[in-house]
Amino acid sequence: MAQQIAVVGSGYMGGGIAQVFALAGARVALADVSAEVAERNLARLLDESEAYIADGLFPAGATETLRENLWAAPSIEAAVADADFVVEAVPEVLDIKHATLSRISAAARRDAVIGSNTSTISIAALAVAVDAPERFLGVHFANPAPFIPGVELIPHAGTDPAAVETARSTVAASGKQTATVKDVTGFVMNRLQYALFHEAALLAEEGIASPEDIDTIVRSTFGFRLPLFGPFAVADMAGLDVYAFCYQQLQTTFPERFKTPRILEDLVTAGKLGTKTGAGFLNVPAERVPELLAYRNKAYVMMQRLLDELGPAPLN
């Protein structure tokens, strides 16, 4: 990556995002409320890198790469002046975001793409503070940014597709996987994460199972599949007719909460039942199904080996 990047807000997320881009070879400016805070956070990121190397999490030489590529800017304006790509990661407070984005967009080059790492604020609500908002979008890293591979890209209605492509290629060049989603509350990541958490919390509240037992079920059953397959791949492999039947059962107790989604009903009505019919949500070609099942089985066995090697999380 031969790009100039600026990260504004060099705290927990901004620091991790800066490490990601700098390790990938970009020159990355850190800006914060003052030069002193940016300097302090730069020193923290270098110390953190040493600890990560010692634990085998960053490659040998990472700290030298970060020392070469990261710099603490004296101001937001100085950080963004030459940047091709800017990521804003200041606190999740609308006024602070607005003031910061306004300063960033006034000082950045006109062709610089500006991303916000907001988790919950609508991108359109942030875009009002951006001068030339067609170059602005959400670029949502997950925590901890150096180690979680996926990033949501969230254009607002007025974002130029060229800006989305610049963000996509820049983030992809850092080694992350991207997915582009619409600007709706919760985007995709938090809407799904909170849907699961919401049901889990209700189950615990109703005394159906303890938080410990619910966590055990999630991570050792359906959650065990999730690093390999998202919900649509899982449903296609299980059979969409099976899913439709499960919905009917759930509706006997929860008629509203588990109304059969129309997108599922339509596929079942059309006889598209997933991998067993060669068509479903993902249209896996019939001839690749044996290969897919072999991959699945191998993946689950290797996943269990990894978990055995790691041992249980130190939660108690």
Ligand X SMILES: NC(=O)c1ccc[n+]([C@@H]2O[C@H](COP(=O)([O-])OP(=O)(O)OC[C@H]3O[C@@H](n4cnc5c(N)ncnc54)[C@H](O)[C@@H]3O)[C@@H](O)[C@H]2O)c1
Summarize as ranges the residues that interact with ligand X (CB under 6 A): 8-14, 32-33, 37, 89-92, 96, 100, 117-119, 143
- For ligand X, the closer CB: 91 or 175: 91
**Least spacing, CB of residue 133 vs ligand X, in Å:** 18
Judged on CB neighbours under 10 Å (0-12, 13-18, 19+), 238 is middle
Q: Are residues 115 and 163 in contact, defined by beta-carbon separation less than 8 angstroms?
A: no
**Least spacing, CB of residue 17 vs ligand X, in Å:** 9
213's tokens: 């037992």
Nearest to 118 by CA among 60, 70, 187: 187
- For ligand X, the closer CB: 33 or 299: 33
**Least spacing, CB of residue 41 vs ligand X, in Å:** 6
Residue 106 CA to residue 276 CA, distance in Å, equals 55
Residue 24 CA to residue 44 CA, distance in Å, equals 19
- For ligand X, the closer CB: 90 or 163: 90
Query: At 187, is the secondary structure helix, strand, or coil?
Result: coil
**Least spacing, CB of residue 99 vs ligand X, in Å:** 6
- For ligand X, the closer CB: 89 or 268: 89
- For ligand X, the closer CB: 36 or 111: 36
**Least spacing, CB of residue 113 vs ligand X, in Å:** 18
Query: At 5, is the secondary structure helix, strand, or coil?
Result: strand
Cα 285 → chain centroid:
29
**Least spacing, CB of residue 85 vs ligand X, in Å:** 16
**Least spacing, CB of residue 238 vs ligand X, in Å:** 31
Residue 69 CA to residue 215 CA, distance in Å, equals 40
- For ligand X, the closer CB: 119 or 180: 119
Q: Are residues 23 and 91 in contact, defined by beta-carbon separation less than 8 angstroms?
A: no
- For ligand X, the closer CB: 146 or 274: 146
**Residue number with the shortest CB distance to ligand X?**
11
Query: At 197, is the secondary structure helix, strand, or coil?
Result: helix
**Least spacing, CB of residue 213 vs ligand X, in Å:** 26
54's tokens: 């010692």
Residue 166 CA to residue 50 CA, distance in Å, equals 31
227's tokens: 């690093």
Q: Report the chain's C-alpha Rg in angstroms.
A: 22
Identify the residue whose tokens are 């967009």. Answer: 105
- For ligand X, the closer CB: 187 or 243: 187
- For ligand X, the closer CB: 14 or 155: 14
Which DSSP string corresponds to 193-250? HHHHHHHHHHHHHTTSS-HHHHHHHHHHTHHHHTTT--HHHHHHHH-HHHHHHHHHHH
**Least spacing, CB of residue 141 vs ligand X, in Å:** 6
296's tokens: 């699945």
* Residues written for the chain: 316
